[in-house]
A = this chain, B = another copy of it.
Amino acid sequence: MGTASTNTAKPAMRESLIAAAFQLFLERGYEQTTVDDIVTLAGVGRRSFFRYFPSKEDVVFPDHEQSLADMTAFLAASEDGDDPLDRVCDATRLVMRMYAENPTFSVQRYRLTREVTGLRTYELSVVWRYEKTLGDYLRTRWADRRDGTLRANVVAASVVAAHNHALRHWLRSGGEGDPLAEVNRALEFVRGTWDEGRGGGEGGGVQGEETEDVVVVITKRSTPMWRVVREVESSLGEDGEAPRRS
C-alpha cells in the first residue's frame, strides 16, 4: 500500500512522482507546490514529469485515464444479450474499485480536491467524461427506442449520481467500511427505478418471506402509470420507496 496505486505495469518513475507530489501537497499545500519541487524530491528532471503528466493537476488524478479506458473497453466488449442497465452498473463499479484499491490515497485526494477550486473543476470534467462514456453506450443500445436518447442521458446521469453518492459517503467517512457494498446499494436503488425486466426468469421468481397473496388492480386505460404504481404499492403496504429486486 506504500505506492499510490497497486496497478501493475506502471513505471516506477511515475509512481515516484505521484508519491513525491502528494507528500508535498500534504506538507505545504497544493498551490504552494511547484512541479520543480516535485521533480527535485523525486530526484528526476522536469521533462520526466511532463512525460507522464500534462500538468500539475493531472498528477492529482493519475488513474482516471486508465479507468476511463478500462470502462470504454468493458462497454465495447458488451454483447447484444447483455442488459444495458446491468452493463453500465458494472462499468461504474470499475471506477469504485479504482478508488477502493488505495483508500488512503483516495481520501487524501478527496480532501485536496475540496480545498482547491481548480482541482474541483478538473474532477467535474472527469465525471463528465465517465457520464458521457456510459451515455454513449446506452444511446447506441437504445437507438431504436422512442425517447432512447433521453432515456440514455437520464439513466447515465442517475448511475453516475448514485456512484458519486456512495463514493462521497465513503470518502467523507475517511475510507472506512466497504465502498463496493455502498455503491451496490446505491446502484440497486437506480436499477430498481429503471429496470424494466429482462425477459429472463430473474425477479419474477423471487420468493420472499412475504405471503403469496394475489393482488388485483383494476384501473382505467387512461390512468397514468404513476398512479397505478401507487395503487399497487399501497395494496402491498410498501412505503413508496422505489421497487427493489431484493
Contact B217 A245 (CB under 8 A): no
Contact B224 A236 (CB under 8 A): no
Contact A207 B222 (CB under 8 A): yes
Of A28-36, A44-52, A72-80, A159-167, the stretch lying at the interface with chain B is: A159-167
Q: Which residues of the partner chain B approach A228 to less than 8 Å between Cβ atoms?
A: 217, 229, 232, 243
A interface residue count range (under 10 / 10 to 19 / 20 to 34 / 35 or more)? 35 or more
- A224→B210 CA distance, assembly (Å): 12
Q: Which residues of the partner chain B approach A204 to less than 8 Å between Cβ atoms?
A: 223-224, 227
Residue of B whose beta carbon sits closest to that of A135: B161
Q: Which residues of the partner chain B approach A161 to less than 8 Å between Cβ atoms?
A: 153-154, 156-158
Question: Does A242 belong to the interface (CB within 8 Å)?
Answer: yes
The 3 tightest CB contacts between A and B, nearest first, are A225-B243, A157-B161, A197-B230
Residue of B whose beta carbon sits closest to that of A223: B204
Q: Which residues of the partner chain B approach A211 to less than 8 Å between Cβ atoms?
A: 221
- A120→B187 CA distance, assembly (Å): 28
Number of copies: 2
- A20→B160 CA distance, assembly (Å): 39
User: Which of A189, A222, A230: most chain B Cβ within 10 A?
Assistant: A222
Would you give the 0/1 interface string for A206-224, flagging 1 where the beta carbon is closer than 8 Å to chain B? 1110111111111111111
Q: Which residues of the partner chain B approach A217 to less than 8 Å between Cβ atoms?
A: 215-219, 228, 232
Q: Which residues of the partner chain B approach A151 to less than 8 Å between Cβ atoms?
A: 189, 242
List the interface of chain A (C-beta within 8 A of B): 120-121, 124-125, 128, 145-147, 149-151, 153-154, 156-158, 160-162, 164-165, 186, 189-197, 203-204, 206-208, 210-230, 232-233, 236, 239-246
Contact A221 B226 (CB under 8 A): no
Contact A213 B206 (CB under 8 A): no
Contact B220 A245 (CB under 8 A): no
Residue of B whose beta carbon sits closest to that of A206: B222
Contact A196 B229 (CB under 8 A): yes
Contact B154 A195 (CB under 8 A): no
Residue of B whose beta carbon sits closest to that of A195: B226
- A190→B194 CA distance, assembly (Å): 11
- A189→B150 CA distance, assembly (Å): 8
